[in-house]
Chain A
Amino acid sequence: MVFVRHILPPTILAALFLGGWEGYVAASGASPLILPAPSDVMNGIMVERAQIARHAAATIRVAAIGFGLSVAFAFLVSVALHFAGWLRRGVMPLLIASQTVPIVALAPLMVLWFGFGLLPKVLLVILVTFFPMVVSLTAGYATLPRAFRDQLVSMGAGGWTVFRRATLPSARGHFFAGLRISATYAIVATIFSEYAGARQGLGIYILTAKNNFRADLVLSAVFVSALLTLGLLGLIQILDRATGRRYRRQTHA
């Protein structure tokens, strides 16, 4: 019973939480300027749907471009690091050290350097999502059993053949794990970059709503951005399922 075991418990908890919230707002008479009820938030989404959709589309565009470029770039870098040991030994410690920088705090700097266009936002998304991808891929490559490599080498395979036929397939699980982590950061990073300066996007929508004391619209946009991240994770899940029936055996074997 998948439904009873896995779907019912979070549904009940979420319903209790939302019901409690709604009840508290009604009972306490809290100002909707400070704490709007869930129904107010839903109402906000309905009334403002055209606006929110327009801003969400801008956010999706930035996140998609940034995340796509980040994944491609991370893959190329991971392959380079895999084949050049000295490069890996040089770059990895620096890459890890770079993670102590709160990258979202660089958002204002990006605007200062690159203006209000697409570039600073895409750059920020890349900066935030790049690192988990590289680390996951590099860790994935390292899981290749020595015997698999030996088997191919004894057949006369060169470095690239070993990589293509064994290293890359065995890193697949790590790749998708990294993809999921990066995906959750992608929307967050986009919204942050829009805070720092944008004409369109959920970030700037939230900022404007806050300045107008519309807590309900702030929460509406937050809700929609959570949906965007869930949607992205769903797409990754579909991609994983559609392409990898045979690869999931690794974990069961």
Chain B
Amino acid sequence: MLEIDSLTIRAGDRLLVDDLSLTLQAGQLTCLIGPSGCGKSSVVKWLAGVLADELRVKGRAGLDGAPLVPPHARIAYQPQQDTLFPWLTILENASLGLEVRSARKAAAHDRLRSMFPVFGLQGHEDSFPDQLSGGMRQRAAFLRTMVQDAGLLLLDEPFSALDAVTRLRMQDWLVARLDENPRAVLMVTHDLFEATQIADRVLVMAAAPGRITADLPITTPRRDRTEANLAETRSRLKSMLLKDTE
């Protein structure tokens, strides 16, 4: 559904991303994995339409055959940092995307209220973000992203700020939400454990300049993804990442 054709991003003389092309399938969760500074966030930010102005970009993208000019209503973006606005309640925060895209506030709130139980946020509609735990805040951020009805979700290290246990729980939780309501997901992470646990496909990026060095489908069904079954895939990925950063 999404195609990127020879994307090049430069910061001055420095090449951040070099001639990157990729295609994403509808309903697939793709993890973009690579060392810090390999440009994986830049790719996602470009697709979201929020790349810093001073970066120079060449390349094209298409969404379902039509040229893509980001930001696009069918693409929802969740930045790395927690961007729940502290002065808005959880309900108001979650409704932000719908309201900006010109939905009526009352209609947006009605629709969101019915989704709060599924996201484990029932009873916190009128709470403020600082009253919630890290995991709950993250679920609220997902609610805001997912309610936008976009066919493609861009997630920039969504679990990086969570503690290890919450992180594991949230990974399973995200997969369950996507099973209920499948969309294409492009998720940036630097955690190969996380990538192999939840992804349908892992793209490995190398740094300086950023480029895709491997494209690895994870065919093991999710219920069978035990340490033992994934050991071989993980060790392959690990050696690729280590080789690239030498």
Contacts and interface: CB of A to CB of B under 8 A. Distances in A.
Interface of A: 145, 147-157, 161, 165-166, 169-170, 172, 246-247, 249-250, 252-253
B120 interface: no
A153 B86 contact: no
A200 to B, nearest CB: 43
A170 to B, nearest CB: 8
Given A147-B81, A161-B100, A249-B86, A154 B49 contact: yes
A152 B100 CA distance: 8
Count class of interface residues, chain B: 20 to 34
A247 B89 CA distance: 11
17 contacts: A148-B83, A149-B50, A151-B77, A152-B100, A154-B50, A154-B75, A154-B77, A154-B154, A155-B76, A155-B100, A156-B71, A156-B101, A157-B100, A165-B96, A246-B88, A246-B89, A253-B86
Contacts of A149: 50
B87 A247 contact: yes
A116 to B, nearest CB: 46
B83 A147 contact: yes
The dominant DSSP class at the A interface is helix
A147 B85 CA distance: 10
The dominant DSSP class at the B interface is loop
A6 to B, nearest CB: 25
A214 B124 CA distance: 64
B97 interface: yes
B129 interface: yes
A148 B71 contact: no
B8 interface: no
Given A155-B100, A172-B87, A249-B130, 10 more contacts: A145-B81, A147-B81, A148-B85, A149-B50, A151-B77, A154-B76, A154-B79, A169-B85, A246-B88, A246-B128
A118 B109 CA distance: 50
Interface in B15-37: none
Given A150-B50, A153-B50, A154-B48, A250 B87 contact: yes
B45 interface: yes
Nearest to B141: A151
Contacts of B154: 154
Interface in B36-81: 45, 48-50, 70-71, 73, 75-77, 79-81
B196 interface: no
B26 to A, nearest CB: 20
B148 interface: yes
Contacts of B70: 154
- Top 6 nearest A-B pairs (CB, nearest first) are A154-B77, A150-B50, A147-B81, A154-B48, A253-B130, A151-B83
Contacts of A166: 85
Contacts of B83: 145, 147-148, 150-151
Contacts of A147: 79-81, 83
A157 B86 CA distance: 19
A47 to B, nearest CB: 51
Contacts of B50: 149-150, 153-154
B87 A152 contact: no
